[in-house]
Structure 1
Amino acid sequence: MRRADPLITVLKLNKEAEEQAALQLKSAQLEQQRFEGQLEALNNYRLEYMKQMGENQGKTLSASEYHSFHEFIKQVDQALVQQVNTVREAQNQTQHRQVHWQQKQQKRKAVELLLAKNAQKAQQIANKQEQKASDEFAMQQFIRKTPR
């Protein structure tokens, strides 16, 4: 009975690690998309608010209304800066996960290649043994047929 090749176990573990890394990458990508969507929504909100204020420009605004408008825009701008930073961090995380997944994929492929090479060597050895046995059989047949 042949014992199991330990590389099969290594391959299985590498496949599992690669799958886990792929899930982490997908999660990071989804989170990045969510943060980018929030940033876009904030930008759109700011633009809409500025547009509304532009439409009211001809109307008389009290000092407190004008001050409130500027304070509100300042808060929205601060939220935008925070969101831009959050998006940057998410992009960095996604990039890190991408590299991690590629490394796991590379390890898996290396083990698969090693297994394929080992299988090829084993096949060559088996072919040589088969050829040797065939040659011996032919030699025995020849010897038996040769008159003495």
Structure 2
Amino acid sequence: MAKDPLFTVLSLAKEAEDQAALQLRAARGELQKRQAQLQALNSYRLEYMQQLKDKAGGHISVTFYQQFHKFIKQIDDAIEQQVNSVAEGQEMQQHRQQNWLQKQQKRKAVEQLLDKKAKAAEQRMVRLEQKQTDEFAMQQFHRRHLR
């Protein structure tokens, strides 16, 4: 019996699913990296704000205060950019998750179709064997009664 072309389709579907899973893992890794960078920026900002608070009791020059606010503004801008980067990473992860789920669903559908075809072939074989057994029994019956 020739190999069913669905096995080729299944093989391709598995490869596509594996590739989608790799892309999803990469997107998750990238998102975690972006989230860690955002957390680092937030911690960095908090640290500098604490330094200002600690110096608030003492004498602070106007120049230092202006430079400090300029620096905090730069950190805030970087945080805003990183928040956008995290949002893009989340979008990418969701897109890759959907893609992976679609590939998985396609693979499962092909597997179910192959399983259904295999069960149908098995039922045909059982019916054929039963038919042959019945014919053999009928021939035996006729031989015994014709003698």
Shorter-normalised TM-score: what interval?
over 0.9
Letter in 2 for 1:91: Q
Segments of structure 1 that go 5 or more residues without pairing to the other structure are none
Matched, 1:115 2:110: no
Q: Using structure 1 for the length normalisation, give the TM-score.
A: 0.98
SS state of the match for residue 146, structure 1? helix
Letter in 2 for 1:61: I
Segments of structure 2 that go 5 or more residues without pairing to the other structure are none
Task: Count residues with an aligned counterpart.
Answer: 147
Matched, 1:142 2:141: yes
Letter in 1 for 2:83: V
Aligned position for 1:98 = 97
Q: Using structure 2 for the length normalisation, give the TM-score.
A: 0.98
- Give the alignment of 1:17-32 within 5 angstroms: 17-32=16-31
Aligned position for 1:44 = 43
- 2-side partners of 1:25 and 1:64: how far apart? 49
Aligned position for 2:52 = 53
1:105-129 deviations in Å (ceiling 9; x for gaps): 0000000000000001101111110
Aligned position for 1:68 = 67
Residue 59 of structure 1, CA deviation: 1.2
Aligned position for 1:87 = 86
Aligned position for 2:2 = 3
CA RMSD of aligned residues (A): 0.7
Residue 63 of structure 1, CA deviation: 1.1
Residue 60 of structure 1, CA deviation: 1.1
SS state of the match for residue 3, structure 2? coil
- 1-side partners of 2:137 and 2:57: how far apart? 108
Residue 147 of structure 1, CA deviation: 4.3
